[in-house]
Amino acid sequence: MVKTLEQAIAQVSRLPAADQEQIGRKLLMHVEKLNALRAEIDKGLHSLDTGEGRALDMEAFLREKNSRHGGA
């Protein structure tokens, strides 16, 4: 385990059980999101490796994404 993570776990272990539980749930959710993102990246890389990629109109892509999020 990485030293920083070991230090964090040691500090969390001194907190009340309810706080430990909440931190543990948040950490697990974060790890699950990272794993899902890595899986999507792997799928994308695989599709590129097999020649399934296509050109992307970046301006159109950004317009679409911004319109979904209130034009931000």
Handedness of CA 43, 46, 47, 48 (dihedral sign): positive
pLDDT tens for each residue of 12-67: 999 999 999 999 999 999 999 999 999 999 999 999 999 998 888 999 999 998 98
CB 23 within 8 A of CB 15: yes
Q: What average pLDDT does the chain have?
A: 93
Instruction: Specify the pLDDT at position 71.
Output: 59
* 45 CB-contact burial (10 Å; exposed 0-12 / middle 13-18 / buried 19+): exposed
**Cα distance between residue 71 and residue 69, in whole Å:** 6
pLDDT tens for each residue of 60-70: 999 998 988 76
Residue 1 has pLDDT above 80, yes or no: no
Whole-model pTM?
0.66
**Cα distance between residue 1 and residue 69, in whole Å:** 38
**Cα distance between residue 69 and residue 28, in whole Å:** 27
Residue 72 has pLDDT above 70, yes or no: no
